[in-house]
Structure 1
């Protein structure tokens, strides 16, 4: 029995749509195929496999028709990538000019990847690229030619395995129809007006930890945080920041939230309440995680998972960050 070749399209919208328009775009894409996944804030992915026979078009013709409909109905220019899986489609879209599409057929995927820089792969940050570069490894082809044992010595077993899978163009994730991302909020009202920076720091740290716990419990990651501060005179101010990568890891969320607190420059402000809103949510399985060469990162995540298990068994206060201990 042969497996039917998948045809996945990644469409990047060159005008970030408003929320209502984004809903309209998802609905428009659903007229092409029921297998549409929002990739907030400005992209969508489509599994065209089952739609090709209905429209009697080639994959490239169908994606060009879809781009034309976007332009005519909403005035939105787009670039698109077409390939056999979600990762390759997104990478192909990055190489396409506005109004055009890059198609990477399955039988040419290995050749297409071979000469591309290793940094084109998702999850390859500066630290990983610098480590590989010190050994003369700059292209994806050089990674695929390298024995796995050598790659593991350079990066460690886990990161090497992930990098090898991506370098060979493998990505089994399905296109999962879903609504555009919702949001998640945690807030705290202080007992009295607070002028103490240390107490403000502690309150925001506690909120970030709560948000992380909820994200992990719901198997989601957040791409953006907003910190809102309400003052004694009932006025408020807010700052928003996109995370370096979508995450559910409490230390990463805390670092961003505390950066927002610093950016607000509260100084002697009399604060009554804080709220953190996490949005740009994605299912954990649909998000890429940056490869890390720091063994401490793996240990921190393992400890976090153990703490979550303890909380589920003994209650939410069973394990707390040291900075929040009474």
Structure 2
């Protein structure tokens, strides 16, 4: 059985970047996919394959969404490469000018065609000494290496290095994007096309983010102990509030109450808002959490309805069920952060 194509993105972050800001960018990207490999101090790789169905978008569109969020929330410019594996994505990113994306098609023949004219030294693992050895035999491009008989390449480099180089020259890289650790935080964000001064829209946006966070936590059987709300304004300044929850939860109404409390504490009134981000922190497994039982049956009914809604979303898609208060809010698919 042929395995489905992978869609790997490699991002370069341009401009001054502190360690804390780099961690914030990683947190944001976990809102796109949990399969992230950090490459400090200013690069990161993402496996977008599992996010495509969740977002119902093409790989290039999901990558541009990630770049847009980084620019809107942090003012950081990026360049990117997109390809069928980690090696090609990294090489494409290296060839991308600042602010641009180089997309290498995931078809084997397209990737091989993109590699052929590039210099041998562009391949990972080919240093100056190896490139010089190959140049003495008139081998300057990746295409020339791909066309070379295996025995000839082995006589030049030795058996093991020759096999590795031949695979790379043909665009073969089976190394997966493996996260070093599960996400400790989940972030949902909403970026506006234009400045917003309407308090009702602020309320709806934050309510939608709380709903997204709740769905993602329940999908991954996690709970959160605290929430952080960040509101970014048209002048690129921002306000941040953090609150601890009364109890660890993934229940959307409880998350919404805390998130809206933080929003109200900002007193935005006529502030010109450009973006919102809600982050769930101090995540735990749902089995370790406690829940204060209430005598009011309304709470249990609400949780039962929430569970039924989650089942409907998993079967029919994330727009199958939406809170009535968000009926007119722009639909933003929940980000597959810890899947």
Supply the distance in 2 between the matched residues of 1:122 and 1:16 (Cα, whole angstroms): 26
> CA–CA distance in 1 between the matches of 2:103 and 2:96?
9
Does the alignment pair 1:92 with 2:130?
no
- 1:26 Cα offset (Å): 0.7
The equivalent residue for 2:160 is: 158
Counterpart CA distance in 1 for 2:61 and 2:106 is 17
Cα deviation digits, residues 186-244 of structure 1 (max 9, x gap) = xxxxxxxxxxxxxxxxxxxxxxxxxxxxxxxxxxxxxxxxxxxxxxxxxxxxxxxxxxx
Separation (CA, whole Å) in 2 of partners of 1:25 and 1:6? 23
SS where residue 106 of structure 1 aligns?
coil
Correspondence 1:95-244 to 2 at 5 A: 95-107=95-107, 108-178=110-180
1:14 matches 2:8: no
Contact 1:137 1:143 in 2 (8 A): yes
**Equivalent residues of 1:13, 1:79 under 8 A apart:** yes
Note the C-alpha offset of 1:14: 1.1
Q: Deviations over 1:251-276 (max 9, x none)?
A: xxxxxxxxxxxxxxxxxxxxxxxxxx
Give the match for residue 253 of structure 1. Answer: none
Shift in Å, 1:15: 2.2
For residues 68-93 of structure 1, give each alpha carbon's deviation from its aligned partner in whole angstroms, at most 9, with x where no partner exists.
11111111111100011101100000
Greater C-alpha radius of gyration: 2
Give the distance between the partners of 2:102 and 2:3, measured in 1 at CA.
Answer: 24
What are the ranges of 5 or more consecutive residues in structure 2 without an aligned counterpart?
183-339
Partner of 1:73: 73
Give the aligned CA root-mean-square deviation in angstroms. Answer: 1.3
Count of matched residue positions in the alignment of Structure 1 and Structure 2: 180
Cα distance in 2 for residues equivalent to 1:105 and 1:142: 21
1:16 Cα deviation (Å)?
Answer: 4.8
Q: Is the 8 A contact 2:7 2:83 kept in 1?
A: yes
Indicate the larger mover: 113-122 or 169-178. 169-178
CA contact (8 A) 2:12 2:93 kept: yes
Contact 1:64 1:100 in 2 (8 A): no
Listed as ranges, the gaps of 5+ residues in structure 1 are 181-326
Q: CA deviation at 1:100?
A: 1.2
Q: Is residue 38–residue 179 contact of structure 1 (8 Å, CA) maintained in 2?
A: no
* Conserved? CA contact 1:67–1:99, under 8 Å: no
Q: Deviations over 1:35-85 (max 9, x none)?
A: 111011110111000101111111111111111111111111111000111
Matches of 2:125 and 2:156 in 1, distance apart? 17
Cα distance in 2 between the residues matched to 1:73 and 1:109: 33
Distance in 2 of aligned mates of 1:74 and 1:155: 46
Is 1:40 the counterpart of 2:25 in the alignment? no
